[in-house]
Amino acid sequence: MYLFVRDEDALLGFIVYFPLGNEMRLENVAVDPTVTGRGIGKALIKFCEEEAKRLGLKSIQLYTNEKMTENLSIYPHLGFVEVARRTEDGFHRVYFEKAL
C-alpha cells in the first residue's frame, strides 16, 4: 500500500507500507526536502498507524540506516522504540517498533 501527498503538480511526500503477519511493515517514507518541517512525514506515518489499527495489527515495524541520524531521533519522538541493530547486505540498520 502507498500514499502520495501532492500540492498542485508537485509530489511533496510518500509512504510505502504493507501488513506482514500481525505487524505493519513501514517500508519507506520520504518528504521533499523543500517542505521538511511542515508535518508531512508525521502525517504520513500517522496515516500508516491508523491503517494498522483499522486492520487490527499489533505493531508497526521499520528500519533505517544508522547514517540517517535525523531518523534516529525522529522515530522515538513518534513513539517508536529501537529493538535491534544489525549489519545486513553491507548496511548498518537500526530497527524500530511501535506497539499499537
What's the average pLDDT block by block, 10 residues per block, for the chain (100 residues)?
Answer: 69 93 95 89 95 97 94 94 96 97
pLDDT of residue 28: 94
Taking the C-alpha atoms of residue 89 and residue 70, their distance in angstroms, rounded to an integer, is 22
pLDDT for the residue 4: 62
Q: What is the pLDDT of residue 10?
A: 82
CA nearest to 27, candidates 43, 48, 7, 13: 48
Residues 6+ apart with CB under 8 A from 10: 32
Residue 20, Cα to own-chain centre: how many angstroms?
15
Tell which residue, 47, 96, 58, has the closest CA to residue 75. 96
Interior angle at CA 58, CA 65 and CA 98, nearest 5: 35
Task: Determine contact, residues 69/87, Cβ cutoff 8 Å.
Answer: no
- In the chain the domains, ranked by start, together with CATH numbers, are 2-99 (3.40.630.30)
pLDDT, residue 11, reads 85
Q: Could you give the 3-state DSSP secondary structure of residue 79?
A: coil
pLDDT given for residue 76 in this prediction? 96
Measured CA distances, 54 to 16, 47, 59, 75 (Å): 17, 11, 12, 21
